[in-house]
Structure 1
């Protein structure tokens, strides 16, 4: 890729789970850290969130565990269509995506990935940043999350 992703931009491993409480407790025990707080995000209409090119409407339970320079992000999706529900239904528990911080190259990296034939599965914007889930499961075995900053 012309706009390559730097290795030091690898910031996140996101895991989709059926039972976030159990997963959070197990990961915390594994790393000998406190059980992370679980945030419940109910479904809402958000104009800054899409799933497969259409406005997204789904809920998600989320917990983060800081492990050195990385974050292990746990996701428990609700029943509504989302990239996380799609993954859980297809694979069960597992690594949904690896997250990369690419700074100002975000649009260029996304553009190159699209030119390579990868579909942008989910795009979300929030104050100060964004996240884009790239559908790369078939080739890489995992999706990618491209962010300008964490």
Structure 2
């Protein structure tokens, strides 16, 4: 791993929490002249194994992904179950939730961040990889998502 804490300085994705993903997806597609992406729902706990504050969570979300050149824009509409997505919507309303970086050695990166007093908030699996949200709000003013693809 490089001397960089994450081993990467390339932002892969910016994610925005929304209340109505259909409407906001329409707005982005219209504004940028893009096709509206398919809206997908995250996997149930049996596949995602979502952990929120170290406890199992049934949390799911609707997602839409816009490819914006070298960066992906993700829209997230959370369900009612406990998650970082739901917490953000309730405490801050709609808006930027995280920036994401692809990493290698997810567990090693999480451990390294935790030794710097940056705790893991939520993690889970998705088809082809895994994600982890780290609480970098205080030092970086935005949450960081780690993505590791198989």
For the superposition of Structure 1 and Structure 2, which TM-score range results when normalised by the shorter chain?
0.7 to 0.9
Q: CA deviation at 1:71?
A: 1.0
Instruction: Report the TM-score, using the length of structure 1 for normalisation.
Output: 0.87
Q: Distance in 2 between matches of 1:92 and 1:72?
A: 18
Instruction: Report the TM-score, using the length of structure 2 for normalisation.
Output: 0.87
Q: Distance in 2 between matches of 1:41 and 1:66?
A: 19
CA contact (8 A) 2:66 2:74 kept: yes
What do you get for the CA RMSD once the two structures are aligned?
Answer: 2.0
Find the residue that maps to 1:117 and give its secondary structure: coil
Cα distance change of structure 1 residues 50 and 85 upon mapping to structure 2, 3 Å threshold: same
Q: Distance in 2 between matches of 1:51 and 1:41?
A: 15
Aligned position for 1:93: 94
Uncovered stretches (5+) of structure 1, i.e. residues with no partner:
none
Aligned position for 2:113: 113
Aligned position for 1:7: 9
Q: CA deviation at 1:45?
A: 3.1
Aligned position for 2:129: 129
Cα distance change of structure 1 residues 103 and 45 upon mapping to structure 2, 3 Å threshold: closer
1:73-97 C-alpha deviation (Å, 9 max, x unpaired): 1000111111100000010011111
Q: May I ask how many residue pairs the two structures share in their alignment?
A: 147
